[in-house]
Structures are given as C-alpha cells and as structure tokens.
Amino acid sequence: MAPVPPAAPDRQLLRLGQDLLHRNDALAVANRNRFDQAGVRVVNLLSAPGSGKTALLEHLGGLTAGPMAVIVGDLATDNDARRLRAAGLAAVQITTGQACHLEAAMVARAVDQLEHSGVPLSSLRLLVIENVGNLVCPAAYDLGEHLRLVLLAVTEGEDKPLKYPALFHSADLVVISKLDLAAAAPFDLALARRAIARVAPRARILAVSSRRGTGLATLAAALVA
C-alpha cells in the first residue's frame, strides 16, 4: 500500500492564526507604552505547572525595591491570587477557561481591574504576570512585558529546555527553582546550565530556593534592574 501523503496545511486556519498574533502584538505594544508611561517594570513569568511560580512570588514580595503587584493566569479558580493577597501582595486573577495562555487583551483588562481596586500602575515598582502553567502556547504571545522569565524546577529534569526550546529561547532570564530538592531529585545543575545555554544563549541563569531563601535577593534585584 502506498504511504498516505501528509495533509496540506489549512491556509485559512494559518491566516487566522497569523491575524490573531498580529492583533495581539499591536495590543502588546499598547500595554508596553502604558507600562512605560507609569514607570513600572513588568515581568512575564512562564513555566510548567507545579514549578513553584506562586511560592516564589510569595517570598519575593518583601525583597523587591518598591511595591509589587501580580496578575495571575489560571484555567480555573482564584487560589493563587488569594495566596498572594494573603502574603501581602496586590493580586488580580485571570481565569482563562480553556485557553492555555494569556493574551495582551486579557492583561490590559486585568490592569484596569487592578487600578479600579485602588492600585494605580504609577504606584508600583514591579508588576509580575504569572502566566498559565504551560511550556508551549505562551511562548508566542507578547504581553507587553519588559522581561520574560522562564522558571525550571529541578524536579522537571535537566533536559526540559531541550524538549521545549521555543519557550526557553524566548527567555531573558531562566531561573532554576526548588534548588533545595536538587540532591533528592537528583538534578545536575551544570548539565542544566549547558542545556539552557544551548537553546537560550542570551539568557541570564539564576538558581533559587524559595523555601531556604537561596538566591532570592539576587533575583529580586535582577527583576527591577
């Protein structure tokens, strides 16, 4: 039997996808202009589920040079936003339903909500967008951030950057988290650094432990530099 040729790409779907990305990019530019005018530094935090994003932010809140707020993206629940508010941070939840990523329009609405709650952008030094836990979809979407941070937990393995190169390649900063579990995992830090450097040669690499506080002061300084 002759092999079945691969299906031709659907040009209409491809065009629709390109149009959506172009529209998102235009809104991202508007977001960035808004952030610049307010004088707030904005970080897009991306990672797989369970990498420790929320725990990291809970501990960073008291270390940043100036007030910090968080926009949290999840498919469902406002659990993470409530955790961050309990830690003393202003936090707004975006519930995406079926969407596996945040988009610039969602962030703009969340910023409006943040300001309507009494937290103007101009009062903040740092705004962190905690993106939906996913290593594929968020890579393509600019949200208007100034810095893209990708979190890699030691429990995910040293080769995760090689398996998901697009996301790591887009990073300005890669943070290896849960460093206190490296020996138990086990996790080869040098091997992970080489994997990151291979796909994201321009990215700065830091290693932290939220539980022990290791590297958090250095990270806090890097976020507002």
Residue 10 lies in a domain: no
Does pLDDT of 2 surpass 70? no
For residue 7, tell me if it sits in a domain: no
* CB atoms inside a 10 Å sphere around CB 34: 16
Burial (CB < 10 A; 0-12, 13-18, 19+), residue 197, is middle
Q: Are 82 and 140 in contact (CB under 8 A)?
A: no
pLDDT at 165: 98
- 104: CATH: 3.40.50.300
- The answer, yes or no, to whether residue 112 has pLDDT greater than 70, is yes
Residue 8 lies in a domain: no
pLDDT tens digits, 8-31: 556 665 565 577 789 999 999 999
Q: Is residue 11 part of a domain?
A: no
Note the pTM of the prediction, 2 decimals: 0.91
What's the domain count of the chain?
1
Which percentage of the chain shows pLDDT scores above 70? 92
Closest of 89, 56, 95 to residue 72, by C-alpha: 95
> Which burial class, exposed, middle or buried, applies to 96 when counting CB atoms under 10 A from its CB (0-12, 13-18, 19+)?
middle
Residue 150 CB contacts under 8 Å (≥ 6 apart), including other chains: 46, 47, 167, 168, 170, 171, 173, 174, 175, 200, 203
H-state helical runs in the chain: 11-38, 53-60, 79-86, 104-116, 160-163, 165-169, 189-199, 216-224
pLDDT at res. 65? 79
In a domain? residue 178: yes
pLDDT in the model for residue 144: 98
Q: Is residue 134 part of a domain?
A: yes
Q: Domain of residue 207: give its range.
A: 16-224
Task: Please say if the pLDDT value at position 7 is more than 60.
Answer: no
CA 141 remoteness from chain centre: 11
Mind listing the pLDDT tens digit for each residue in 197-221? Answer: 999 999 999 999 999 999 999 999 9
Q: How far apart are CA 216 and CA 189, in angstroms?
A: 17
Contact in structure between 108 and 31 (CB atoms under 8 Å):
yes
Q: Does the residue 3 lie in any domain?
A: no
**What does DSSP assign to residue 150?**
E
Question: Is there a domain that residue 185 lies in?
Answer: yes
